[in-house]
Amino acid sequence: MNIIGRLTRDAQISTLPSDKQVVNFSVAVNDSFRNKQGERVEHTEYFNCAYWLSTNVAKVLTKGTLVELSGRVSARAWIGGDGEAHAALNFHTSQIKLYGGGKRPETVAGGISNNSAVPADNGKDDLPF
Q: How far apart, in Å, are the Cα atoms of 78 and each of 6, 74, 82? A: 26, 14, 11
What pLDDT score does 67 carry? 95
Taking the chain (129 residues) in runs of 10, the rounded mean pLDDT of each run is 94 94 95 92 94 93 94 93 92 91 43 41 47
pTM strictly above 0.85: no
Please give the pLDDT value at position 115. 40
Torsion angle (degrees, nearest 10) of CA 70, 64, 45, 72 = 20
Find all residues with CB under 8 Å of 58, minimum gap 6, and list them: 10, 11, 12, 13, 23
> How far, in whole angstroms, is CA 20 from its chain's centroid?
21
CB atoms < 10 A from the CB of 42, how many? 8
* Confidence (pLDDT) at 114: 47
Chain centre distance of CA 54: 16
Whether residue 3 contacts residue 25, with contact meaning beta carbons closer than 8 Å, is answered with no
Q: Find the helix or strand (DSSP H, E) in which 29 lies.
A: strand 21-34
User: Which pLDDT does position 40 carry in this prediction?
Assistant: 94
pLDDT of residue 110: 52
What's the pLDDT at 129?
Answer: 45
Query: How confident is the model at residue 124, as a pLDDT?
Result: 47
